[in-house]
Amino acid sequence: MGDGDSDVATRWPPTFDRGAWAAVALVVAFAAWVVVSNTVLVRLLGPDPAVLSERALGVVSSTVQIAIAVAFLRYEGVRLRDVGLSKRLVVPAVVAVLGVVVAANAAVATLVVAGGQGVRVEPFVLLSALPREYSAGEVAVTAVYYWLFVGVAEELAFRGYLQNKLTALLDGWGDPLRTALAVVTAAVAFSLLHAPTILLVDRASLGGLVGGLLVTGLSGVAFGAIYVLTRNLLLVALLHGIGDFWPLFVEPAGSWPNWVLLVVLYAVLVVAYRGWAERTPRPTPGVGAD
């Protein structure tokens, strides 16, 4: 994941060298780019863009977002491994997310059978509810876009940088309080910066905007809490990605996502992950600083 990968050289919690203005600058830079990229998308591709063209521009936009987040981390003197992006965390993250996917499909199948309905199995079954059919290529490109670009870009910026930065700025407030404030504030910023996409691309009504921002904000709180409890940013990024494009193979009875089911799955994930982490040697805080 870059910046080296020695566990001994990992700092937790990460320390930041710059003032509060840097956090404001990141939010402003992100907001400006979100407005620009969404405006370009609508102007170039129109209101109903082709899937592959939209994803291609989306990859470019997410790459710029990643570059912005990395630039701010570098400026602060924080390395990628300091925020939970290191090689040793890749396998646990992938295994944990695969476990969530398998558990979600199994749980949905159980709920469908319990409701007296037959189970229909189809790859990416949620796409069958859309007005148009996705080709295999469009499914693959969409999966890569959400799982490897969108989740990584937004989690690196809002959890890896902003949440950690706010935690550092609130030093002296007491760990529980400053952690909670950092999680919620980063989630609010994360939510509000989705407003241009909801308005410009999705063309949502006022009610749709409010609903979209509320769901995004609550998701941000969930991702922030999982990050605090696991210290694995890649895990959170992958969870974010599959949340945007669920690999569901069993047709759900009713709407998806099922929020109660997801809360249970994420809680089990955190407990299992922390149980694994307690049996794994942890980085030594403050050792090996640049």
Q: What is the pLDDT of residues 174-186, one digit of tens each?
A: 789 999 999 999 9
Q: What is the pLDDT of residue 61?
A: 95
Q: Would you say residue 140 has pLDDT above 70?
A: yes
Q: What are phi and psi of 77, to 5 degrees?
A: 80, 25
Confidence of residue 125 (pLDDT cuts 50, 70, 90): confident
Q: Would you say residue 285 has pLDDT above 60?
A: no
CB neighbours (10 Å) of residue 167?
23
Q: Would you say residue 72 has pLDDT above 50?
A: yes
100 neighbors 242 (Cβ within 8 angstroms): yes
Q: What is the pLDDT of residue 277?
A: 73
Structure tokens at 175: 């760990």
107 neighbors 261 (Cβ within 8 angstroms): yes
Long-range interactions of 138-146: CB distance < 8 A, separation 24+ = 138/51, 138/52, 138/55, 141/51, 141/52, 141/55, 142/51, 142/55, 142/245, 143/245, 143/247, 145/55, 145/58, 145/59, 145/62, 145/245, 146/241, 146/242, 146/244, 146/245
HSE-up of 195 (CA within 13 Å, CB side)? Answer: 11
**pLDDT, tens digit, 9 for 90 and up, residues 33-71:** 999 998 998 888 887 788 999 999 999 999 999 999 999
Q: What are phi and psi of 48, to 5 degrees?
A: -125, 75
Is the preceding peptide bond at 283 cis, omega within 30 degrees of 0?
Answer: no
Confidence of residue 288 (pLDDT cuts 50, 70, 90): very low
Q: Enumerate the H helices of the chain as residue ranges.
A: 20-45, 51-76, 90-114, 136-144, 151-155, 164-169, 175-192, 195-196, 206-230, 233-244, 259-278
Q: Among 187, 239, 173, which residue's Cα sits nearest to residue 215?
A: 187
**pLDDT, tens digit, 9 for 90 and up, residues 77-122:** 999 999 999 999 999 999 999 999 999 999 999 999 988 888 888 8
**pLDDT, tens digit, 9 for 90 and up, residues 230-284:** 999 999 999 999 999 999 999 887 778 899 999 999 999 999 999 887 666 554 4
Q: What is the pLDDT of residue 284?
A: 41
